[in-house]
Every structure is written in structure tokens, then in C-alpha cells.
Amino acid sequence: MKIGNNKGSTIIDGLIISMILLVILGFSLGIATNYQKKSVNDHAKKQAYFNAIALLDSVAVEINNNNVSYIPTTSVITLTDIVLPSSQAGELSGEISKDANQDNIIYIEVVSIYSSQKEELRLTMQKHNDTWYKKGYSRLGENAYEEIEL
């Protein structure tokens, strides 16, 4: 029995294995890039959320201190020219309004944009015995979550 000529078969086997490894590497890089983009977007969304919460809490402190420039009477108070610390980036805007039916409820609504990610949050505050309490945080369009019982 005569064995055929196998010269060069090692090169072919090496090329096949190299091609398989190249396909696996390309697939792995695609998955890694996708996870990296998702991670960057998640970070930006969280930062936009934290910026919005920080502004809501700052305004709530001013309202608790009875700073009349933050307590609306009849019209809506627009929050403009909000400056973030130099280490932060993004845009913040907001407005403070009273409930149309109840004088003892204030809504603080904030829009925070950080690296193309947007968060829209609302803080509902209620006055009880001459003190303003945080009633609940919510995303705009959702019902507020009750934090405290009055």
C-alpha cells in the first residue's frame, strides 16, 4: 500500500487553525466593544440621575430653610444658570411649582443631561405644621413613591 504525498499539509492545518482563532478573536472583540459601550452609557445615566438628585435635595434644603425665592406663590419658578463643580459635566434645569388644588404641596422637577443620557425626576414636598417634608421622588410621568406618612 502506497501512502500519498503529504508535503505541505502542516501549512494547511496551521492556516485552518489560524482562521478559526481569528474568527473567535473577532467575535470576542465585538462582544467586548458592546459591553464597553453599555458600561459607558450606564455610567452616564447614573451620573445624570445623581446630578438630578443633588439638585432636588439642594432645593429641598432651601425650601426647608424657608428661603422665599424657592417657594412658589402663584407662578412657576424656573431654575436656570445651575453651575456644576468643575469635575462634573452635564446640564441641569428645573422648575418649582405648587399643586393646583392644594397649597401645601410643591413639585420640584429637574431635567439632567449627562453625555447624551437624560434623566427627568420630580420631588414632591408637603407642608405639615409649618415644615416642608419630602413626600417622594419619582421619574416624570410616574406616581410618586411615598417616603413618609404624614
Residue 111: which domain range?
Answer: 48-139
Domain assignment present for residue 91? The answer is yes
As a whole number of angstroms, the distance between CA 113 and CA 90 comes to 5
As a whole number of angstroms, the distance between CA 5 and CA 22 comes to 29
Structural domains in the chain (count):
1
Domain assignment present for residue 80? The answer is yes
Domain assignment present for residue 84? The answer is yes
Short-list 71, 54, 44, CA closest to 110: 54
Beta bridge partners of 98: 106
Look up the CATH number of the domain holding residue 125.
3.30.1300
Domain assignment present for residue 144? The answer is no
Burial (Cβ within 10 Å: 0-12, 13-18, ≥19) of residue 150:
exposed
Domain assignment present for residue 112? The answer is yes
- pLDDT tens-digit profile of 112-150? 888 888 889 999 999 888 888 888 888 886 554 444 333
- pLDDT tens-digit profile of 73-100? 878 888 877 777 666 677 888 999 988 8
As a whole number of angstroms, the distance between CA 82 and CA 148 comes to 29
The cell for 40 is: 459607558
Domain assignment present for residue 145? The answer is no
136 C-beta neighbours (distance < 10 Å), count: 16
Domain assignment present for residue 131? The answer is yes
Domain assignment present for residue 61? The answer is yes
- pLDDT tens-digit profile of 41-81? 999 899 889 889 988 998 999 888 888 888 888 788 888 77
